[in-house]
Amino acid sequence: MELEIYQNMLLMVLLTAFIMGWVVSKTDFCTMGAVSDWVNMGSTLRLRSWSLAILIAMLFTTILNYFGLIDMSLTQNNETSNPPYNTPVFAWLRYVLGGFIFGIGMTIGSGCGNKTFVRIGGGNLKSIVIMITMSIGAYLMIFTNFGYNVFLQWTGVFDVDLTNLDINSQDLGTLSAAILPTDAYNNKIILGLLISITGLWFLFSKKDFRSDKHIITSGIVIGVCVSIVWYLTAGSMGQELLEEAEMIDDVPFGLGAQSLTFTSPYAHLVQLINTNFDLVYLTFPLAGGTGVLLGSFAYSIINRSFRIEWFNSIADFINHLLSGFLMGIGGVLAMGCTVGQGITGVSTLSLGSFIALGSIIFGSALTMKIRYYKLVYEKEANIFTAIMASLADMKVIPNRWRHLDHV
């Protein structure tokens, strides 16, 4: 592999992710923690930090697209994007099921794929177990027939092919243009600016949010990092790379327009090892995951916060095993994680990304509530009654269907 531009881009992705890892460690940015604060304590501060990252990424991605610095139409095709967030094949059930599974997994293990890299960098050996099982799950989904045989074979039956309606993308701009007599590209720019600017105004209108510098810093930096990687892979460098790749044999795996995501790096790591470190599998996601880990490690060493952590019980060990495997499966099925779909995908205005994000949050929140009811009603509760009470709390089912009193 002799693509100098690819090597340069890998380095830039690594450096961008390094900054992200440093900031996430310093500010304790955690998507699972954000959901936990909201569900268990009614605090939305960290959830708003996550929202800030989404809105900043959406704003800058929209601006870059408007000025022609990136070509987001690349995200409509599997050959030019990885993953193709705006493919016209609307795999809604895949987004729902994958996001839900990922949400359960990240809650059991107290952190998502990105947080796993961060914790390993900070000395958490428990997260290495998550990394191993998450790698196995993601590898099975991407590089074997497991994903198709177990999931895609039947979820694909429910896919909606938008091209049958003369729609070539699932982004909100294109979908709105199919309903109203307007231009899809203009709609996408207008909606991107409208949603991001309105959302930012709402966030900064809250005094408690404005006063928390850590939350603001983490949201802005993460959103900007996502936009930078979009600029690298969907801009002139990324487009030139796609053209050069057509003229060589050993094309790097997973080329195309993409930004930060933290499920696929685990699968790529396994494949890199399996192929005796064939550099074809030294991918952008793997560079991003490595950068976050190194950034977290550097911060923990300089700040003297590096601490070795291990399991406190067999149950804790089993939970981490299960957590990683579920996140690996769910993250690939949903085509992204809390960052990969929740920030990167949403920044493209992909309808599927919004659905995956909502499913991740729902799966995580439901799991937290079920575990809480099982803890409070240690003797009375079983999994069924805990689920029913949790669903009633979340207004999914009528309150009269619950068997446990609200706590």
* Amino acid at residue number 27: T
Q: Indicate the pTM of the whole model.
A: 0.96
Share of the chain above pLDDT 70, in %: 100
The residue among 198, 225, 241 whose CA lies nearest residue 7 is 241
Mean pLDDT of the chain: 95
341: Cα separation from own chain's centroid: 4
Write the pLDDT tens digit of every residue in 191-203: 999 999 999 999 9
Write the pLDDT tens digit of every residue in 267-284: 999 999 999 999 999 999
Write the pLDDT tens digit of every residue in 56-72: 999 999 999 999 999 99
Q: What is the pLDDT of residue 347?
A: 98
Asked if the model's pLDDT at residue 84 lies above 70, the reply is yes
Asked if the model's pLDDT at residue 1 lies above 70, the reply is no
- Give me the phi and psi of 223, to 5 degrees please: -60, -40
Residue 2 — very low, low, confident or very high, per pLDDT cuts 50/70/90? low
Compute CA distances 277 → 260, 269, 274, 283, whole Å: 22, 9, 7, 12
Q: What is the pLDDT of residue 181?
A: 87
Which conformational region is residue 68 in: left (phi greater than 0), alpha (psi within -120 to 50 degrees), or beta?
left
